[in-house]
Amino acid sequence: MNPTMNANDAVYGSLAECYVTIDGNRYNMMQLYDFESSAAINLIDVPILGRTGKGKKPAGWSGTWKGTAHYNQSVFRKWFLHYKKTGELTPFEIQVSNEDPSSAAGRQTITHTGCLIDSIILAKFNAGDDLLDEEISGTFDDWDMPETFDMLDGME
């Protein structure tokens, strides 16, 4: 038997939740409508005597995130303004959970810590746009996964 995935087990993206915690204040970042984080393994070349090719060895990792949000919140601009005025840049946390009640996959939560923003829009307008949005991106230096998706039928 060759099992296939049930179509209902695909996770519907707009049912996600995203919370940001800055200086002990937790915000529901419902303005974000697109978000993605990734971790990349830093590989270094390993010369090996007697071989024409080089091996690879993992030497740490780095994390980045990016998202698109409706331009209707000042949380991140206030965070950056504090840095501009004081020189103190406090890393923050981003928690993303995916859960679709129609999917047997259940719920997964990823918590990103040590988050920073690499650039931010301060002000904007466009008379031709119906809605204003903004691209936000940055880095994180650690992450955890307190909740994982369930194994779907046929995976094991």
Q: According to the CATH classification, is domain 14-147 in 1.10.8?
A: no
Look at residue 71 and give its three-state secondary structure: coil
**pLDDT at position 65 over 70:** yes
The residues, ordered by sequence, that sit 6+ positions from 72 with a Cβ below 8 Å of its Cβ are 31, 132
The residue ranking higher by pLDDT, 3 or 15, is: 15
**pLDDT at position 55 over 70:** yes
CB of 92 closer than 8 Å to CB of 83? no
**pLDDT at position 1 over 80:** no
**pLDDT at position 37 over 80:** yes
Look at residue 79 and give its three-state secondary structure: helix
- State residue 128's pLDDT score: 87
Q: Which residues pair with 59 in a beta bridge?
A: none
Q: What is the chain's mean pLDDT, rounded?
A: 95
CB of 18 closer than 8 Å to CB of 96? yes
- State residue 3's pLDDT score: 82
Give per-residue pLDDT as tens, 95-105. 999 999 999 99
Residue ranges per structural domain of the chain: 14-147
Reported as a pLDDT band with limits 50, 70 and 90, residue 60 is very high
What is this structure's pTM?
Answer: 0.91
**Would you give the distance in Å from CA 73 to the centre of its chain?**
18
Cα separation of 56 and 45, whole Å? 5
